[in-house]
Amino acid sequence: MLTRRLAAFVMSGRWQAVVAAVLLAVAGVLFPPLALISAAVVALVTLRHGFDQGLIVLGWGGAAIAALAALLLGAPLTGVIYAVAQWLPVLLFAQLLRGSASWATVMTVLAAVGLAIVLGVHLLVPDTAQVWTELLQRNLGELFKRAGMGPAEVTATIARAAHYATGAFAMSLVLSVSLSLMLARAWQASLYNPGGFRDEYTRWRLGVVLAGFAALLVVLILVMHNALLVELAMVVLTPFLLQAIGLLHGLVRQGGMSVGWLVGLYVLLFLAPPQMGSLLAAVGVVDSFADLRTRFRRGD
């Protein structure tokens, strides 16, 4: 498999890891999913060899991207910021996973960081909606117009999005770090413990404290209809979305069902991400309380 060959190349030496991380990061500017794979390279080195080695790859990779940014854009600092923002969070959480061997711990801390970002932005910026409105108008306004939307429709769409943009940003951070870390863990298992990540992921179960907080947020949103609460829920429910996907993979495998069920799941998630994402997150919260794997195994 191509990704396994990439993982083997990364693990063949420090400079190979640096080259892979840099090339994928640069390609990620044009095709963002590759940036997640680039971060997974740094995470894999950290998971296998420790924080120091991961930091070395980050340092040399950051220097290379800074040099490229200086050559092409005349702005080396832009390259440094990109490398640090893309790789450092994944490096830190890879080290946390390496030390704790607990996805529940990693995802709880990651959710806490996302919540802190949302609350911090709202505390430090008096009118976040106005800031996001200006930013979105500048970057997306023309794109919406080219898509056939009228000026009034563009303004209304951006105004609605601006109220939840901080939460969307924090949620995207939680999701991107999670996906890069999961890919790195899958690579590590494929090289040194075949099948290990599959067993690990399908047994994911986050703590009842985080699940209780998520449930409380949902109840408060239904009662109060508050935008800040919605942003907080977007962040805290993201780990449960991933948990639910792992749960369903495990149930399909446990029940000997066709892989077509999983294909259907991903198709629906692609076609209706808000609705399916919310439904799956709810399943993940319920699983944290009820341990659905055990119940299905017993036939309850």
Structure confidence by residue, pLDDT tens digits, 141-165: 777 677 677 777 777 888 888 889 9
How far is Cα 236 from Cα 273, in angstroms, rounded to an integer? 17
Residue 112 pLDDT exceeds 60:
yes
pLDDT of the residue at 102: 92
Q: What is the dihedral of CA 144, 147, 149, 150, to 10 degrees?
A: 90
Query: What does the pLDDT look like over 63-107, one tens digit per residue?
Result: 999 998 888 878 788 888 888 889 999 999 999 999 998 999 999
pLDDT > 90 in the chain, percent = 59
pLDDT of the residue at 147: 67
Listed residue (59, 94, 297, 74) closest to 186, CA to CA: 94
Residue 240 contacts residue 214 (beta carbons within 8 Å): yes
Quote the crossing angle between the two packed helices 33-49 and 14-28, to the nearest 10°: 160
How far from the centroid of its chain's Cα atoms is residue 226's Cα?
A: 24
pLDDT > 70 in the chain, percent = 97
Residue 229 contacts residue 221 (beta carbons within 8 Å): yes
Q: How many CA atoms lie within 13 A of 268 on its CB side?
A: 13
How far is Cα 293 from Cα 300, in angstroms, rounded to an integer? 10
**Residue appearing with tokens 């420790």:** 50
pLDDT of the residue at 291: 84
pLDDT band at 2 (very low <50, low <70, confident <90, very high): low
**Residue appearing with tokens 């711990």:** 105
The burial of 198, by beta-carbon neighbours within 10 Å (0-12 exposed, 13-18 middle, 19 or more buried), is given as: middle
Six-digit token string for 216: 């409380």
Alpha-carbon distance values, 242 to 131, 155, 156, 204 (Å): 31, 33, 32, 9
pLDDT of the residue at 107: 95
Listed residue (199, 198, 201) closest to 239, CA to CA: 201
pLDDT of the residue at 255: 80
Residue 279 contacts residue 247 (beta carbons within 8 Å): no
Listed residue (275, 204, 202) closest to 239, CA to CA: 204
How far is Cα 211 from Cα 112, in angstroms, rounded to an integer? 13
pLDDT band at 202 (very low <50, low <70, confident <90, very high): confident
Listed residue (91, 81, 63) closest to 184, CA to CA: 91
Six-digit token string for 255: 């029940």
The separation between the first and the last C-alpha atoms of the chain, rounded to the nearest angstrom, is: 39
pLDDT of the residue at 82: 83
Domain ranges of the chain: 1-100
